[in-house]
Amino acid sequence: MKIDYKNISTLGALKSAAYKSQSIKDELRKNLRDKISKGEQTFHGIWGYEESVIPELERAILSRHNINLLGLRGQAKTRLARLMVNLLDEYIPVVAGSEINDDPLNPISRYSRELIKEKGDQTPITWLHREDRFYEKLATPDVTVADLIGDVDPIKAANLKLSYADDRVIHFGMIPRSNRCIFVINELPDLQSRIQVSLFNILQEGDIQIRGFKLRLPLDIQFVFTANPEDYTNRGSIVTPLKDRIGSQILTHYPEEIEIARKITEQEAQLDERQAKSIYVPDLAKDLLEQISFEARKSEYVDSKSGVSARTSITAFENLLSTAERRAMISGEEKTRVRLSDFMGVIPAITGKIELVYEGEQEGGDKVALILFEDAIKTLFPNYFPKIEKLEHKDAGNPYDDLINWFFESEGFDLMDNLTDDEYEAMLNSIPELNALIKRYQSEIPEEDTFFLKEFLLWGLVAYKKLSKRRFQRGYQFKDLYGSFISKL
């Protein structure tokens, strides 16, 4: 039934409107049923979970369960919890002045019961919007029972001239204040075991215990916990009786396809409007950026248990566009295209997001980032050009022989960082054999992607040890592999 909340400000008016109270879990269940029945999307902006996480989450809500989202960092656990707010009613009535969002038709605090007893149908009520019904607490070792549940407030006792035996001297913690709301505890294993124990009664019986008070508050809360499985061994664990009281544990995961990862990155990247308009990013560049994270998740240098957050690709994409933007400003151009050499600007975004194992520490973060970048090129290379085998018959024809011979016969090819787009294109067009390979294998590629693909081909030949590449102060030099070796001798 639709309630005209704007014209209802007293308990009597609320009763006249035939408003019916319901628990938050019933409220979520009802609204979810409506959305599913109408074929509406329930969790907007979440990609890759359509057939895995979201159905499990919907089943948990329909079952009225408290929920634990278990997964590595950067898997949208908190985002999912926040989106549950959209399944709440737009407004709910609250007794005016109540610390714990008392339902006017079913008050549980002493304050609200006494106010209703005194004023009856004239008891003032206010309306709480769904956006104000989300509470979040990061579990840290210094969190106390007083923070979450509450404690005796000596100042309140002195001001009201009450003894400590009176329950009106209690200062409520975050959980009672989130009554009739969604309450999220992030990184639950980081919460000390004795603090986790204090949640037992709330999850099972719905009441709280504060010191020696005989206080029973049947709180109405939808709990959502998030946890990282690595925390179970590194920093703490979820105590078994608490796990037993959490209705559903749902496993999250990273994107399994580059297309999904690209959607997430493009949605979450914080771009300046001018960047979006003035910098063109080829599809191959977007795929290559995401492939770096895919390579990191299976790399022998990266701690797989720690995970590689989706934020790695997001911040790397922001860095990539900023690198291209800075280059364009230096060369005095209004617009530009992303170049493969611009990817060197994403290294700080990668090194700060990955945890290295011992072998990775020995290599160093920057070098591991370059290895991941090279591995990403090698993975995508066969999608565009003939695969290069490690072992080749000496008489077998190689489609790259002409290009490699060009480098063998030349003194090298220098590609400077801050070339204008015209100079950059002219440099790549100056290699006839490179143009021939693009025309032969990628003739239908959009013209604006051509030059990125040419540079990608050169870096791919370097990755497969067919050419050498050397970084100097202001650019890269590509040379024949053996010529480079001889020059070193």
Which CATH architecture does the domain made up of 255-383 adopt?
A: Orthogonal Bundle (1.10)
d(CA 232, CA 225): 14
Map out the domains of the chain as residue ranges.
Answer: 5-251, 255-383, 388-489
pLDDT in tens, 146-202: 888 887 777 776 777 776 666 677 788 899 899 999 999 999 988 888 888 888 878
DSSP bridge pairs for 155: none
CA distances from 401 to 294, 457, 459 (A): 31, 13, 16
Residue 21 burial class via C-beta count within 10 angstroms: exposed 0-12, middle 13-18, buried 19 and up: middle
d(CA 466, CA 131): 58
Question: Cβ(447)–Cβ(376) under 8 Å?
Answer: no
Which CATH architecture does the domain made up of 5-251 adopt?
A: 3-Layer(aba) Sandwich (3.40)
Buried b (16+ CB within 10 A) or exposed e, 24-43: bbebbbebbeeeeeeeeebb
User: H helices within 43-173, ranges in order?
Assistant: 53-62, 77-83, 110-119, 145-148, 154-160
pLDDT of residue 483: 59
Which of 264, 416, 430, 259 is CA-nearest to residue 342?
416
Question: Cβ(200)–Cβ(57) under 8 Å?
Answer: no
pLDDT in tens, 319-359: 999 999 999 999 999 999 999 999 999 999 999 889 998 88
CA 219 and chain centroid, separation: 31
d(CA 423, CA 331): 11
DSSP bridge pairs for 59: none
pLDDT of residue 306: 85
For domain 388-489, give the fold.
Arc Repressor Mutant, subunit A (1.10.10)
What one-character-per-residue DSSP string does 153-187 give? Answer: -HHHHHHHT--TTSGGGEEE-HHHHTTTSEEEEES
pLDDT of residue 235: 57
Within the chain, which residues score under 70 in pLDDT?
1-3, 157, 163-167, 206-207, 211-214, 231-236, 391-397, 483-489
pLDDT of residue 214: 64
Residue 263 burial class via C-beta count within 10 angstroms: exposed 0-12, middle 13-18, buried 19 and up: middle
pTM of the full structure? 0.87
